[in-house]
């Protein structure tokens, strides 16, 4: 379990100060995957550096499994860091070491016996599906394979927490999915708590249980994926289930509908036309699978003579969230 409380980081640049993190709070339950999404400059990199203590936060605390990381003395930082495995955007492998030697690196640091290291490296290579590439140098591996080595290295010291900083931002879409599935599978198998920092909504859609939207150093929206996706007014929902922009169309009222779970497979619209004897014009729509639940969003236009109050009441009864579009 990771808890971040009111984390602030202020940098001094000459005589002006830059507030990179302005009171960030997060809570990630053990065994779950939390996504932190934001544009560049939102403070994602600073957050990572504070979580790994590469930078000391100005104030606030980071707690992992009840132990406060930010209270650790400088001399104990190294032991504290070993409880966090970190995966980087560009893998950051040592070019002079083979895949196996890269994975062995964290173990060498604490003087693990060679026979123990060898066995563990073999196990980790198998875990990430790279049994055949032990002797390959990073330059001989593809981007996805490098990231697998990076993940194996991050897991070498048996951490409780896996911190992924843009783990797939340098990969093609197919490889991205493979790496995300690997992270998701490892999370379940090893009972890890995972924090993924990303600017790609696809990453959140595919594997996150919960998400925070970071903006200008602040968390502006957060919650379990289902909740944020159901909030039609929310910005995360708009990005999670995007609808194309449609030009204003003359005629009847325009509604935005959100279907969740079971209602996505109900023929709500055709029932609506029959019941109210109206025509429904679908302006835009999309369906997404988020955290195992199907979400559908539709923008529809009705006849101007339709009894809107009754329509609202009917749709609410069907479990559809309705929003009158501007």
Q: Which stretches of the chain bind another protein, using CB under 8 A?
A: 52, 54, 78-79, 81-82, 84, 86, 88, 90, 92-98, 100-101, 105-106, 108-110, 135-140, 153, 156-157
Minimum Å distance from CB 102 to another protein? 9
Beta strands 210-215 and 33-37 are parallel
Beta strands 2-13 and 16-28 are antiparallel
Residue number with CB closer to another protein (103 or 225): 103
Residue number with CB closer to another protein (16 or 96): 96
Tokens of 129: 């599906």
Minimum Å distance from CB 27 to another protein? 22
Tokens of 79: 């032991």
Residue number with CB closer to another protein (129 or 251): 129
Nearest 10 degrees: Cα torsion 55, 60, 65, 66: 130
Minimum Å distance from CB 96 to another protein? 5
Specify whether the CB–CB gap between 98 and 136 falls below 8 A.
yes
Minimum Å distance from CB 189 to another protein? 21
Minimum Å distance from CB 180 to another protein? 21
Beta strands 218-224 and 210-215 are antiparallel
Minimum Å distance from CB 37 to another protein? 22
Rounded CA gap, 24 and 55, in Å? 15
Residue number with CB closer to another protein (41 or 135): 135
Residue number with CB closer to another protein (11 or 251): 11
Specify whether the CB–CB gap between 200 and 169 falls below 8 A.
yes
Specify whether the CB–CB gap between 155 and 161 falls below 8 A.
no
Q: Residue 259's closest CA among 291, 239, 230?
A: 230
Residue number with CB closer to another protein (190 or 220): 190
Concatenating the DSSP letter of every residue in 218-237 gives: EEEEEEEHHHHHH-TTSHHH
């Amino acid at each position: 379990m990771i808890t971040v409380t009111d984390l602030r980081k202020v940098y001094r640049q000459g005589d002006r100060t830059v507030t990179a993190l302005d009171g960030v709070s997060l809570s990630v339950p053990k065994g779950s995957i939390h996504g932190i999404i934001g544009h560049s400059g939102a403070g994602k990199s600073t957050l990572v550096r504070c979580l790994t203590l590469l930078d000391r936060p100005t104030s606030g605390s980071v707690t992992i499994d009840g132990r406060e990381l930010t209270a650790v003395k400088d001399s104990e930082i190294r032991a504290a860091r070993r409880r966090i495995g970190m995966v980087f955007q560009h893998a950051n492998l040592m070019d002079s070491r083979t895949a196996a030697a890269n994975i062995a690196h964290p173990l060498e640091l604490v003087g693990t016996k060679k026979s123990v290291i060898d066995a563990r490296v073999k196990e980790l290579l198998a875990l990430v599906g790279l049994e055949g590439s032990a002797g390959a140098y990073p330059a001989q591996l593809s981007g996805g394979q490098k990231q697998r080595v990076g993940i194996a290295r991050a897991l070498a010291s048996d951490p409780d927490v896996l911190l992924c900083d843009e783990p797939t931002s340098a990969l093609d879409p197919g490889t991205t999915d493979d790496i995300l599935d690997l992270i998701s599978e490892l999370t379940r198998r090893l009972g890890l708590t995972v924090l993924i920092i990303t600017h790609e909504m696809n990453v959140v859609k595919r594997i996150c249980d919960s998400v925070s939207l970071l903006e200008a150093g602040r968390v502006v929206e957060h919650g379990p994926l289902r909740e944020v996706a159901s909030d039609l007014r929310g910005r995360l929902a708009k990005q999670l289930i995007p609808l194309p922009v449609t030009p204003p169309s003359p005629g009847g009222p325009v509604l935005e509908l959100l279907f969740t779970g079971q209602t996505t497979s109900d023929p709500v619209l055709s029932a609506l036309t029959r019941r109210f004897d109206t025509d429904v014009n679908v302006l835009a729509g999309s369906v997404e699978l988020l955290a195992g639940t199907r979400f559908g969003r539709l923008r529809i236009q009705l006849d101007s003579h339709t009894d809107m109050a009754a329509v609202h009441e009917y749709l609410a009864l069907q479990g559809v969230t309705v929003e009158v579009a501007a």
